Structure 1
């Protein structure tokens, strides 16, 4: 298994975190220099990407950095690659699962190994990965976040083909929401999840915990969500819609934990 970490070449603190975290698990990896907004805009144009006007410059840079890794997988004909963002923490079985691929069945092309949403809609059927420890289920609804996932060569081709034909949105919404909705290919969720971003991990542990690896993307996303609310439903409609979604998820969705 090849492990690729998307990271700005100037993100020294985040890169040191990865060195420490992956070193703890005796894992080899390589950094992929994340694209900056001006590079991302040029790259998107070269790929004739659909309208990107709804994305902030940082969101576009994030999306195109992932796209560039998929293109690398295809160009180098890599069988399986685990793709991470540079603020992840790894779980107990990372060494076993991220150094070999013999646990991956031939038709498992997209495996999300990250915990992001507290709950998600999952298939009742599961697939054992490590007996009595880890399994996979098919995601039947969104589970955002793109900080940790495994792609086969075929999975990279499917993601690239999909994303180049859609109006551009944040990369995690496109691949772990809209792609899932198309049912083009099953997207599997690892249970328990094998990795989690620092901001999610600390939020679960203690709301007052300081995030030591902050992201510029978070502030831009908050601003965009505020703008979307102004354009869309009234505050009352938004609250009613949120309440219905949360109630349904509470009753029908299954918990995803990080371990």
Structure 2
């Protein structure tokens, strides 16, 4: 299976890390130079509300989708350069017979949070499962993409309007509703920032400070209490729907292993 690694030219430390990691995991790869959002001509995207780094990230992924289409690649593994990878990932992609049909995205990474998933009965090697993604799960650290899905994504993404992870993995937006979108559990990939402290390392964000969102203001005690009550009500409502058999969606913490 073809593996693509997205890497900024100005991030050689990350490339060195990923080269060593992928060799250790027996995963040959092709490096793709990422689109540097800080060098993009802003007027071209004047109507887009995204930051320039977000546009650069989107275009980097879209460039690989176009490669999958132009080179007629059946299935590809797409990776970012700030991730940790399970030792058995190579076993998952050596024999792709477990993949779900021919029009799919399989999200391999996780933020470690609870996400809305639906049981499918689909199994993968190394004691993993595929569940249908029903809501939002951020991040594009690693995913499998079929040729048919790549064709569709290229058609849908001529004018990027949301960050690429929401475009791919926010199911309630409905932009990719006709593509089978799955989450692998346990997840064999996670961004390093999810599983360890990356302060002062090459794995801190590559986005210049001037492009970062300003931190939101701190909530007052009453606002925190209101938010907590809302969370309790929401979780209770979800549990009741499951108990009554009114939904097949489960909220599961996607762990990295």
Question: Do structure 1's residue 31 and structure 2's residue 17 form an aligned pair?
Answer: no
Of residues 234, 247, 254 in structure 2, which corresponds to 1:256?
254
- The aligned counterpart of 1:206 is none
Structure exhibiting the larger radius of gyration computed from Cα positions: 2
Unaligned stretches of 5+ residues in structure 2: 240-249
Question: Which SS does the other structure have where 1:121 is aligned?
Answer: strand
Q: TM-score of the superposition, structure 2-length normalised?
A: 0.81
Q: How many Å apart are 1:126 and its aligned residue?
A: 3.0
Distance 1:215 1:246 in 2: 33
Uncovered stretches (5+) of structure 1, i.e. residues with no partner: 204-208
Cα shift at 1:93: 1.8
Q: In the aligned structure 1, how far is the partner of 2:199 from the partner of 2:235?
A: 29
Whole-Å separation in 2 of the counterparts to 1:235 and 1:181: 36
Q: Could you give the per-residue CA deviations for residues 225-257 of structure 1, whole angstroms, max 9, x where no partner exists?
A: 64xx8xxxx997798468635763685511111
Give the number of equivalent residue pairs: 243
* 1:115-154 to 2 correspondences below 5 Å: 115-130=110-125, 133-154=127-148
Identify the match of residue 101 of structure 1 among 96, 104, 118: 96
Residues 117 and 159 (structure 1), Cα distance of their counterparts in 2 relative to 1, 3 Å cut:
farther
Q: How does 1:111-190 map to 2 (within 5 A)?
A: 111-130=106-125, 133-164=127-158, 168-178=161-171, 181-182=174-175, 183-190=177-184
Please give the residue correspondences for 1:1-259 in structure 2 after superposition, counting only pairs within 5 Å: 1-37=1-37, 40-41=40-41, 45=44, 51-52=47-48, 54-107=49-102, 109-130=104-125, 133-164=127-158, 168-178=161-171, 181-182=174-175, 183-202=177-196, 210=199, 212=201, 213-217=203-207, 223=213, 226=216, 240=226, 244=230, 248=234, 253-259=251-257
Q: TM-score, normalised by structure 1?
A: 0.80
Give the secondary-structure state (helix, strand or coil) at the position aligned to 2:207.
helix
SS at match of 2:47: coil
For 1:60 and 1:146, the matched residues in 2 are separated by: 14
